[in-house]
C-alpha cells in the first residue's frame, strides 16, 4: 500500500453514484411497492452497500483500513432508472472515494441480483465519483506563485563547509511542489544578531521566510531567541501543529522550539535543522499554511474553492 504516514488527518468525504436501468415500468412498480420475490430491494441493497463500504480494504488490495464514521444511501427513480447515491465520511489520513464507489457498485449489483428473476434486461452504468472533499486538494490555494518565499539555513558547520545542507533543500522542494515561488536560499552561521538582521531584510521582499536550524537546546541554538522579540504576532497553532505532528513519529520532537509568527504581512517560520524534522514540519502545515496569506488580505477563514 502507498505510504500515508506523512499525511495529516482531516475530514474527508466522498459521494458516489451508480445507475440501475431496468427494461420495464412493471419492474420499477414492483420495487416501489415492495413486491419483489427476494424481498425489499431498497433495504437489502442498502445493507449490502454498508457492508461493502466497511470492507473495501479487504476487497481492493491497495485500500487502507480506515474508520468509516458515516455512510448514507439515497435513491432516486427517473423513468426506468434507479439512481443510487452513497455518501461516506471519515476523519483520517486518506480519502474514501473508493469506499463510496465500492458501496455504490455493490448496491447496484445487489439490485441486479434481486431483480433478475423478474427482469432480464437490467444494466448497470455510470458508477463513479460525484464529489469529494478533504485532503491536500481541498486546501490548495489558487495562486501560490504569487507568494514569494526564501529559505535560510542556520548552521555554523554548514556555513563553514564542514557539513552539507539537506534540510533547507527539503524545504525548498516542498515549497516548489506547492507552487510557491522560492526567490532565494542561503546559509548563515548561528549568530543571533545576524539572524535578526537578515529577517528584517528578507521580509521586505518576501511574504514567507523560513529558517531551518538553531531551534534545539544547545548553546548555539539561538534562532528562537533571535526571532521571538521581533515577531509582531505569534501563531501558536502552527507551532503546536508542528510539534504534535512530529511527536507522533519521533518522541524527541517535543524538544524542538519551532517558532511561527508575522512581521507586517509576512510569515516567519523557524523549523528544526534535521532533515526529517524539516520534512515533517513542512508536511504538518503545508499547504494549509498558505491560506494565511488570504486572511492577511482580508479574506474569510473558509478554504478556497
Catalytic positions: 113
Which residue bears the cell 427482469?
119
E strand or H helix at 270, and its extent? strand 266-271
Whether the upstream peptide bond of residue 287 has omega within 30° of 0, thus cis, is yes
What is the number of other CB atoms lying within 10 angstroms of the CB of residue 13?
18
The C-alpha cell at 255 is 524538544
Question: In degrees rounded to 5, what are phi and psi of residue 219?
Answer: -60, -30
* Main-chain dihedrals φ then ψ at residue 132, nearest 5 degrees: -145, 150
Around Cβ 271, how many Cβ atoms within 10 Å?
Answer: 30
C-alpha cell at 119: 427482469
DSSP string, 115-133: HTTT-S--EEEEEEEEEEE
Q: How far apart are CA 137 and CA 292, in angstroms?
A: 16
Residues forming a β-bridge with 84:
18, 75
Report phi then psi at 207, rounded to 5.
Answer: -85, -20
Amino acid at each position: 500500500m502507498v505510504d500515508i504516514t506523512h499525511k495529516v488527518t482531516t475530514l474527508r468525504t466522498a459521494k458516489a453514484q451508480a445507475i440501475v436501468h431496468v427494461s420495464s415500468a412493471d419492474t420499477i412498480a414492483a420495487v416501489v411497492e415492495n413486491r419483489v420475490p427476494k424481498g425489499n430491494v431498497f433495504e437489502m441493497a442498502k445493507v449490502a452497500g454498508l457492508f461493502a463500504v466497511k470492507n473495501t480494504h479487504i476487497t481492493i488490495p491497495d485500500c487502507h483500513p480506515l474508520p468509516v464514521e458515516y455512510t448514507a444511501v439515497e435513491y432516486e427513480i427517473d423513468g426506468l432508472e434507479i439512481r443510487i447515491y452513497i455518501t461516506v465520511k471519515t476523519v483520517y489520513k486518506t480519502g474514501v472515494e473508493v469506499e463510496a464507489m465500492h458501496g455504490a457498485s455493490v448496491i447496484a449489483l445487489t439490485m441486479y441480483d434481486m431483480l433478475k428473476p423478474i427482469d432480464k434486461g437490467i444494466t448497470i452504468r455510470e458508477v463513479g465519483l460525484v464529489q469529494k472533499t478533504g485532503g491536500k486538494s481541498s486546501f490548495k490555494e489558487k495562486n501560490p506563485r504569487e507568494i514569494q518565499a526564501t529559505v535560510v539555513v542556520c548552521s555554523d558547520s554548514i556555513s563553514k563547509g564542514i557539513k552539507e545542507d539537506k534540510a533547507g533543500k527539503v524545504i525548498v522542494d516542498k515549497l516548489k511542489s506547492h507552487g510557491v515561488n522560492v526567490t532565494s536560499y542561503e546559509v548563515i552561521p548561528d549568530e543571533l544578531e545576524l539572524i535578526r538582521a537578515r529577517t528584517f531584510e528578507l521580509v521586505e521582499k518576501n511574504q514567507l521566510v523560513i529558517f531551518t536550524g538553531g531551534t534545539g537546546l544547545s548553546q548555539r541554538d539561538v534562532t528562537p531567541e533571535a526571532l521571538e522579540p521581533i515577531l509582531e504576532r505569534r501563531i501558536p497553532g502552527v507551532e503546536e501543529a508542528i510539534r504534535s505532528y512530529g511527536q507522533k513519529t519521533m518522541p524527541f520532537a517535543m524538544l524542538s522550539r519551532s517558532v511561527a509568527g508575522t512581521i507586517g504581512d509576512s510569515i516567519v517560520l523557524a523549523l528544526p535543522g534535521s532533515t526529517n524534522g524539516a520534512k515533517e514540519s513542512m508536511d504538518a502545515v503545508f499547504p494549509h499554511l498558505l491560506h494565511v496569506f488570504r486572511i492577511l488580505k482580508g479574506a474569510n477563514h473558509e478554504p478556497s474553492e
